[in-house]
Amino acid sequence: MNLASLQEAMRKWLETGNPDFAARFGESARPGLDVYLNNYRMQLLQCLEVVFPHTLAWLGRPRFEAAARRHIMAQPPTDWTLDAYPKTFAAEVEALFPDDTVTADLVRLELALDDALTAADKPPLTRAMFAQLDWELAGLVHASGGRVLRHHSNAAAIWSALSRAKKPPLARPALAPVDILVWRSNWLPCFRVLDPDEAEIFAALVEPLPIADICTRLEQELGTQAAIERTGLLLARWADDAAISVGNGDTHSFARK
Amino acid sequence: MPLFGLGLRKPHFDDVLSGNVKLDFVEVISENFMFPGGSPLATLLDVRAKCPVALHGVSLSVGSATGLDRGYVRRLRDLIDVIDPLFVSDHLCWTRAPGFSSHELLPLPFTREALSAVTCHVLEAQDILGRQILLENPSAYLGFPESEMPEWEFLGELSVRTGCGLLLDVNNIYVTARNLGFDQADYIAGFPMESVRQIHIAGHTAGEHLLVDTHDQPVCDNVWDLFETAMTRAGPVAVMIERDDNIPPIDALLDELAIARARAAKAAGRGSRP
């Protein structure tokens, strides 16, 4: 075998565990091939266990491992970093447990938290910046790792209970969709449930959203004076939570000249 | 004088950052810090302010028949530019094919075809990285009848052709020698020690049929003996203990590092190096 055909055969062996591919290396190679196969699969399983600890706890090990095995067989890793591997796991979970909205919400929440951990650094908006901001020009963007998830269950409460090693509440569907903001604050990923008007604002943060536009959006619902007060309250809340950034992270570019 | 350090893993970052642990250098896994942001890189920069850092990778895949992942190499370059590492190393193995990344150090046949491919990839990587890289002998669980030379000869020729340095893992010699049935003394005797810049010492586990390079056990006596033999022929290398699983308190690793120092001193007393 030349180098390319040898590597193709070993790749097929790892992806499938099919003995036909092992046979190409001879009987004496089988114990070694088994070690490589075991290492390959265990590493991927451990990667999923690390990223989805509370999904594992919620599902129980047998059901989690069934989903993980399915994922490992269906989706070999393609990226140089293992951190990319969990990204498509949610699809396997949903395929295996199609009526389980809690698990579907849990797995997406844990993936977002994991992504937030190493997302690009963006300095958050702080109260100290308020005085320097050009309120006409300044546009708000998500903080590091910021993302809004729409939940259809009480998965967030279940995650919180599991993270404190408490007994989780019973699974139940949400009466209405719940919007969850995930972001990173002080190096740690975190999340909270958004108020409906906040959720609309965060959903609009696909590009820098001028603070003036936020005021206008709220004014249509609340009237001028209440909108000003609500905008102030939300800005203070976001600053206290380090939940939002300014522009492309360069806060100075929006400073008042 | 050799340098003595540790493979730094998460449980021991605070020990190093406290300043209470004095090491000549630490080594970290490059890929654990190749992120857009977050605390891993910030913490590594704090460590870098305390002591030199070596970057040890697992995804360069110099043995891939289909070429280097240049995007990966450029990301590694970005990290190098920030950290200014003591060494940059990876393994003589392959991990990647188009649409596939094994995340397992897979073995190469030691053929002239493989040597030619690895030579091209090492030269290309060193060009992008703007510096010499070190390549480590990995543990192997199978050999190939196609091989045309022993691993040490392959690495020696590679070093001559590319100017790359070598990272000698004495545990990997022991594991591979036991698994594939060659004499570890022949390996040490034939290894191009003049190219060795760094030495790894680690533990392993006995599997059902083979020894497995688990890095989850203390270093065994046989590996210490092999290390001492290697040090009789080594130049000024950087020596470190590598522990990746079942990680004990740092004092246990510092105890092993003290053994390494003593063995290195003993080897220096009976060295055969000119």
Q: For residue A126, what are its two tokens?
A: 């702080």
pLDDT digits (tens, 9 = 90+) for B137-167: 999 999 999 999 999 999 999 999 999 999 9
Task: Say if B34 falls within a structural domain.
Answer: yes
Instruction: Tell me the mean pLDDT in the region B239-250.
Output: 96
Could you give the CA distance from residue B63 to residue B218 in angstroms, rounded to a whole number?
A: 30
* Percent over 90 (pLDDT), chain A: 83
What are the CA-CA distances from residue A217 to residues A198, A206, A226, B69, B92 (Å)?
11, 16, 12, 47, 59
Instruction: Tell me the mean pLDDT in the region A216-235.
Output: 92
**A59 within 8 A of A49, measured Cβ to Cβ:** no
The residue in chain B having the minimum alpha-carbon distance to the alpha carbon of residue A38 is B104
Number of domains in chain B: 1
A14 touches chain B (CB under 8 A): yes
Task: Say if B118 falls within a structural domain.
Answer: yes
What is the 3-state composition of chain B as percent helix, strand, coil, each rounded to the nearest 5? 45, 20, 35
Task: Say if B55 falls within a structural domain.
Answer: yes
pLDDT digits (tens, 9 = 90+) for A89-148: 988 888 889 999 999 999 999 999 999 999 999 999 999 998 888 878 889 999 999 999
What is the 3-state composition of chain A as percent helix, strand, coil, each rounded to the nearest 5? 60, 15, 25
Task: Say if B185 falls within a structural domain.
Answer: yes
Q: Structural domain of residue B194, as residue ranges?
A: 3-269
Q: Is the dihedral of CA B95, B96, B100, B101 positive or negative?
A: positive
Confidence class for position B55, pLDDT limits 50, 70, 90: very high
Among the partner residues B38, B109, B212, nearest to A6 by beta-carbon distance: B109
- N-to-C CA span, chain B: 15
Interface of B with A (CB under 8 A): 31, 34-40, 42, 59, 63-66, 69, 72, 94, 96-97, 99-104, 106, 108-109, 111, 113-114, 117, 140-142, 144-146, 179, 207-210, 212
What is the model's pTM?
0.93
Residue bearing tokens 């570019």:
A253
Task: Say if B274 falls within a structural domain.
Answer: no
User: Across chain A, what does the average pLDDT equal?
Assistant: 92
Q: Do A119 and B37 count as a contact with CB atoms less than 8 A apart?
A: yes
Could you give the CA distance from residue B172 to residue B190 in angstroms, rounded to a whole number?
A: 15
Task: Say if B228 falls within a structural domain.
Answer: yes
Amino acid at B57: G
The residue in chain B having the minimum alpha-carbon distance to the alpha carbon of residue A4 is B65
Q: Where are the beta strands (DSSP E) in A81-229?
A: 139-142, 147-153, 173-185, 188-193, 209-210
Q: For residue B73, what are its two tokens?
A: 């190499």
What is the least distance, in Å, from the CA of A87 to any CA of chain B?
Answer: 15
The pLDDT assigned to B120 comes to 98
Q: Do B111 and A29 count as a contact with CB atoms less than 8 A apart?
A: no
Sheet holding A209-210, edge to edge: A209-210, A139-142, A244-246
Among the partner residues B64, B99, B114, nearest to A78 by beta-carbon distance: B99
- Taking contacts as CB-CB distances below 8 angstroms, the residues of chain B near A249 are none
Could you give the CA distance from residue A241 to residue A190 in angstroms, rounded to a whole number?
A: 10
- Taking contacts as CB-CB distances below 8 angstroms, the residues of chain B near A3 are 63, 65, 108-109, 111, 113-114, 117
A29 touches chain B (CB under 8 A): yes
Could you give the CA distance from residue A9 to residue A20 in angstroms, rounded to a whole number?
A: 9
Q: Do B210 and A120 count as a contact with CB atoms less than 8 A apart?
A: no
What is the least distance, in Å, from the CA of A141 to any CA of chain B?
Answer: 17
**B175 within 8 A of B211, measured Cβ to Cβ:** yes
Q: Do A6 and B144 count as a contact with CB atoms less than 8 A apart?
A: yes
Could you give the CA distance from residue B211 to residue B189 in angstroms, rounded to a whole number?
A: 22
Q: Do B209 and A31 count as a contact with CB atoms less than 8 A apart?
A: yes
Residue bearing tokens 């990173």:
A184
DSSP per-residue letters across B230-246 = HHHH--S-EEEEE--SS
> Which of A44, A80, A118, A144 is most worth mutating to test chain B (most B CB atoms within 10 A of its CB)?
A80
Could you give the CA distance from residue B90 to residue B58 in angstroms, rounded to a whole number?
A: 6
The pLDDT assigned to A255 comes to 45
What contacts 24+ positions apart, CB below 8 Å, involve A200-206?
Answer: A201/A234, A202/A142, A202/A146, A202/A148, A203/A148, A203/A179, A205/A140, A205/A141, A205/A142, A205/A146
Residues A103/A108/A111/A116 CA torsion (nearest 10 deg): -140
| Half-sphere exposure for B35 (CA within 13 Å, toward CB) | 24
List of residues 6+ apart from A242 with CB closer than 8 A: A124, A125, A126, A143, A183, A185, A186
Q: Do B104 and A36 count as a contact with CB atoms less than 8 A apart?
A: yes
A117 touches chain B (CB under 8 A): yes
The pLDDT assigned to A253 comes to 43
The pLDDT assigned to B272 comes to 62
Choice among A29-43, A178-192, A217-231 with the minimum mean pLDDT: A217-231
A225 touches chain B (CB under 8 A): no
The pLDDT assigned to B273 comes to 54
> Which of B142, B180, B212, B213 is most worth mutating to test chain A (most A CB atoms within 10 A of its CB)?
B142
> Which of A3, A73, A182 is most worth mutating to test chain B (most B CB atoms within 10 A of its CB)?
A3
The pLDDT assigned to A94 comes to 86
What are the CA-CA distances from residue B90 to residues A97, A256, B4, B108 (Å)?
41, 49, 19, 14
Higher-confidence position of A256 and A92 = A92
**B65 within 8 A of B97, measured Cβ to Cβ:** yes
Q: Do B209 and A44 count as a contact with CB atoms less than 8 A apart?
A: no
Inter-helix orientation angle A89-96/A61-74, to 10°: 120
Q: Do B179 and A32 count as a contact with CB atoms less than 8 A apart?
A: yes
The pLDDT assigned to A206 comes to 83
Pairing of strands A209-210, A139-142: antiparallel
Confidence class for position A249, pLDDT limits 50, 70, 90: very low
Q: For residue B205, what is the domain's CATH number?
A: 3.20.20.150
Q: For residue B226, what are its two tokens?
A: 């092999």
Q: Is B57 left (phi over 0), alpha (psi -120 to 50) or beta?
A: beta
What is the least distance, in Å, from the CA of B9 to any CA of chain A?
Answer: 16
